[in-house]
Amino acid sequence: MPKNLLIGLYALLLFALPSAAQQIVYGSAKALAEERGDTVSTLRVERRTLNQLYLMGGADYRIVAPDNPSFSRYLRKRCYAVRIDTTLYINCRKMRYKRYRLGGWYAPALEKQGHIFYTAQPVGQAATKTLTPIYTQKLRGEVGDAIQASGLVDKRVFYELDLKTGHSYFVDKGRVQELLSGQPDLLEEFQKETNESAEVIGKYLRQLK
């Protein structure tokens, strides 16, 4: 068989073989910032159901090591973030927005221009600003925020994670306008939006250059 044909068949075989997903776990914000994680090969990502969200709250994804219960506990309680192939997942158990907890499990993140944005349940000010007054009367104060957030279990907004401080910030319209300052056409389009949900905000964050 000609040598060139052999090389071509070998390359085709390599292309056809399924490759294992790259899985990296990060134990802290500093480790994530420095891309200093541990490579593993046993993780499974599961999308949580709507019933699970309403019963237990938390983020959209569960990441486990099916054959290693102790490592699964580490992933749930202590791990800071997990990267699987090109997707980064942030452990919401480690996240806070002001004094509000964002629940457990993992949220998918978007990495753009050196920033990390992730989607999670709206709480506090984020809940108040996301609430639709047509359906629910706006209440004031912390109690009102808590009541509003309880009705937004399946809603999502974007938060920005600052790895230097570990703090998270609600990505509101003003923040997106700052990020789009160098893209005037996209900024003009965004200024017509009236919604700060993850669906709307994400549309523009993904177009950042």
- pLDDT tens track, the chain, 209 positions: 554 544 444 444 444 334 457 999 999 999 999 999 999 989 999 999 988 888 888 999 999 999 999 999 999 999 999 999 999 999 999 999 998 989 899 999 999 989 999 999 998 877 766 655 433 444 445 444 544 455 677 889 999 999 999 999 999 999 999 999 999 999 999 999 988 999 999 999 999 99
β-strand partners of 81: 26, 90
CA distance 71 to 132: 41
Q: Which residues of 111-136 are buried (b: 16+ CB within 10 A; e: fewer)?
A: eeeebbbbbbbbbbebbbebbeeeee
